[in-house]
A and B are shown apart, each in its own frame.
Chain A
Amino acid sequence: MSKHGRLLLAALAIVVIGGLIIVPMNFNRYGLYILSQWAVMTIAAMGLNLTLGYAGQVSLAQGAFVGIGAYGAAILTTHGWPLIASLGLVIVICFIVGWLLGYPALRVQHHYLAFVTLAFSTLMFLVFRNESWLTNGIYGISNIPRPEILGFPTRKPLPFYYLCLGSLALVTLAMWWLIRSPWGRAFMALRENPIRAQSLGIDTRRYTLMAFAIGSVLGGIAGVLYAPLTQYVDPVPFNLQLSLDLLMMVIVGGSGFMFGPFLGAMIAVLLPEWLRVAEGYYLMLYALAVIALLIYSPTGILGILDRYLGSRRTQAASALRAAAQSKLEAAQ
């Protein structure tokens, strides 16, 4: 990217981040709730973007990990654990469970793998609903406390929104680090050509399991924030629908693009709110908008930008070639 483009991008980033900090100060309780939910869902979608977008492993189980995180946080914090400690435990659990869920991916791929992960999703939903001794079944767990962070209470919507936004920032930095590290390159190799990857010494088994484990951990982290956000968890939000929604966020935003989940989650969380003016028709409009987008750009919103930048690059390159050609001809 050119120096000019980089400056533009940096300016855009500052405006967006500043906007996310300042503008919500005037929001009401509901607006802040929606925005916090956007931050939480973005974290979960980033996890799926790693597993699916970068490493190419289809998963319909991301919602289940959000559920594991939410229930973990709900159960532990209502028993007096601090949120940060329950976060630690949830990360360990999600890493192990995600790792194990990766094993089928070593045998099956694509829609077969989707079915395996779908079964896991259903299994977890049944655990949330039926294992009342642990999850309180269909009655759910209420009165989930919001944490104090470094002495600051986050009971009110605005501080809690900042907690969600701060967590999103940390997760984004970690993700950025991961994707530009040799691991990120290996994940993409897994997606693009696993056979060639193996012949270059890339332990595809271990990277596949790792992609599942890390992606699942991000789902768990999102869940840990979800519980104190809603302050009530029951099984319904963690059924298969959530996994499908997260999948849609990744695809619509742009699978395999770092910031795809941000846009995807924005569309999935905010668009239905904006379309409420359409009353009964909003779900239909929403569905049509998504269909239209994916027909126009199967690679999602960031795919459009990528294509635009790609064609600009090609134009610039052919202009250079033409200039060199005419110089060559002039010299002869």
Chain B
Amino acid sequence: MTAVLDVRDVKKSFGGITAVDGVSFDVQEGEILGLIGPNGCGKSTLFNCILGQLTPSGGEVRVDGKLVTGQRPAELNRLGVSRTFQLLQVFPKLSVRDNLILAGQEHRGSMLSRLFGPSDAGLTATADQMIGFFKLEHLANEPAGGLSYGQQKLLDAAMAFMGGPRLVLLDEPAGGVNPTMLGDLKERLIAINRERRATFVVIEHNMEFVMSLCSRVMVMAEGKVLAIGKPDEIRANPAVIEAYLGH
């Protein structure tokens, strides 16, 4: 079976600093891969290389077997690759519902057909379904900028799913989210993963969250892959404990 995401020997250097140094891994359909490592180990840079925000200095990225290295983020998104951001990235002045419609509209028809089609691109029902799924009903018409941090995190995640993606890369979805809401988020992610066979790669520092959510975990250190395996194996790996988890 072809991997949904196949990363081969990706490198990225900024001047003399090599942030990502020959990383290879693959993610199979339906998998949730956790990506952990100390701050500055190259996780977010790796994400940005995969997603076209940065052009890798070397290596290849394939999505469903198709070479996508260096493609622009918008093109990748339309191929079914979606993401969330480490720092909050919603559209503050648009309503929650409009944020979600916006997140899905470019997957509907051509640019010209959208101009003359319905103003919601036929997405109000889908958006409301997503709003219900993430328990944001009472906030649907509020400007996204007025939501609490945790609610905006939920919205950010919900937006990533509007285009019906095959692969979602989540950059620290749990950062700054309170424990109750975190439980909600995890439950939602697992549900989407099962129901829609969506494949995830998750960067996260919250160990409990990663270990309970992910089917496999990859550990990075200094731009390289230190270890990759099932959560239990990672927990027991001496090199990982040395570099990251601590004694």
Q: Do A and B bind each other?
A: yes
Residues on A lying within 8 angstroms of B by beta carbon are 178, 180-183, 185-186, 188-189, 192-193, 195-204, 206
B114/A182 in contact, CB under 8 A: yes
A201/B74 in contact, CB under 8 A: yes
CB < 8 Å: which of B83, B89, B111, B162 contacts A193? B89
B163 at the binding interface (Cβ < 8 Å) = yes
- For B87-115 the 0/1 string (1 means CB < 8 A from A) is 00111111000100111011110010011
A201/B77 in contact, CB under 8 A: yes
Tell me the smallest distance from the CB of A195 to a CB of chain B, in Å: 7
A195-B53, A199-B77, A206-B111 known; A185+B89 contact, CB < 8 A: no
Is the interface on chain B under 10, 10 to 19, 20 to 34, or 35 or more residues?
A: 35 or more
A residues near B162, Cβ cutoff 8 Å: 200
Name the residue on A nearest B51 (C-beta): A199
B residues near A198, Cβ cutoff 8 Å: 53, 72-74, 77
A201/B119 in contact, CB under 8 A: no
Residues on B lying within 8 angstroms of A by beta carbon are 51, 53, 72-74, 77-78, 82-83, 85, 89-94, 98, 101-103, 105-108, 111, 114-117, 119-121, 159, 162-163
A residues near B117, Cβ cutoff 8 Å: 181-182
B74/A178 in contact, CB under 8 A: no
Q: When chains A and B are docked, how far (Å) is the Cα of A183 from the Cα of B93?
A: 16
B94/A200 in contact, CB under 8 A: no
Q: When chains A and B are docked, how far (Å) is the Cα of A52 from the Cα of B74?
A: 23
A182-B117, A185-B105, A186-B105 known; A204+B91 contact, CB < 8 A: no
B residues near A197, Cβ cutoff 8 Å: 102
Interface class of chain A by DSSP: helix
Tell me the smallest distance from the CB of B53 to a CB of chain A, in Å: 7
A185/B77 in contact, CB under 8 A: no
Tell me the smallest distance from the CB of B215 to a CB of chain A, in Å: 24
Name the residue on B nearest A317 (C-beta): B142
A178-B115, A182-B105, A185-B102 known; A196+B93 contact, CB < 8 A: no
B72/A200 in contact, CB under 8 A: no
A193-B89, A196-B90, A200-B106 known; A185+B74 contact, CB < 8 A: no
Q: When chains A and B are docked, how far (Å) is the Cα of A180 from the Cα of B121?
A: 11
A residues near B74, Cβ cutoff 8 Å: 198-204
A185/B94 in contact, CB under 8 A: yes
A residues near B72, Cβ cutoff 8 Å: 198
CB < 8 Å: which of A183, A185, A206 contacts B101? A185
B77/A193 in contact, CB under 8 A: no
Tell me the smallest distance from the CB of B152 to a CB of chain A, in Å: 12
A186-B105, A188-B91 known; A200+B98 contact, CB < 8 A: no
CB < 8 Å: which of B102, B107, B120, B163 contacts A189? B102
CB < 8 Å: which of B78, B93, B101, B115 contacts A201? B78
Name the residue on B nearest A180 (C-beta): B119
User: Could you jot down 27 A-B contacts, CB within 8 Å?
Assistant: A180-B119, A181-B119, A182-B102, A182-B108, A182-B114, A183-B115, A185-B105, A188-B91, A188-B93, A192-B93, A195-B53, A196-B90, A197-B102, A198-B72, A198-B73, A198-B74, A199-B53, A199-B73, A199-B83, A199-B89, A200-B82, A200-B162, A201-B107, A201-B163, A202-B74, A203-B111, A204-B74
CB < 8 Å: which of B53, B90, B114, B120 contacts A183? B114
A residues near B106, Cβ cutoff 8 Å: 186, 200-203
B77/A200 in contact, CB under 8 A: yes
- A-B pairs with the 7 shortest C-beta distances? A201-B77, A201-B106, A196-B89, A198-B73, A182-B114, A182-B105, A180-B119
Tell me the smallest distance from the CB of A240 to a CB of chain B, in Å: 31
Interface centre among B83, B107, B115, B116 (most CB of A within 10 A): B115
Name the residue on B nearest A185 (C-beta): B102
Tell me the smallest distance from the CB of A10 to a CB of chain B, in Å: 19
A residues near B98, Cβ cutoff 8 Å: 185
B residues near A183, Cβ cutoff 8 Å: 111, 114-115
A196-B85, A206-B111 known; A182+B91 contact, CB < 8 A: no
Tell me the smallest distance from the CB of A226 to a CB of chain B, in Å: 28
Q: When chains A and B are docked, how far (Å) is the Cα of A199 from the Cα of B108?
A: 16
Tell me the smallest distance from the CB of B137 to a CB of chain A, in Å: 15
B119/A182 in contact, CB under 8 A: yes
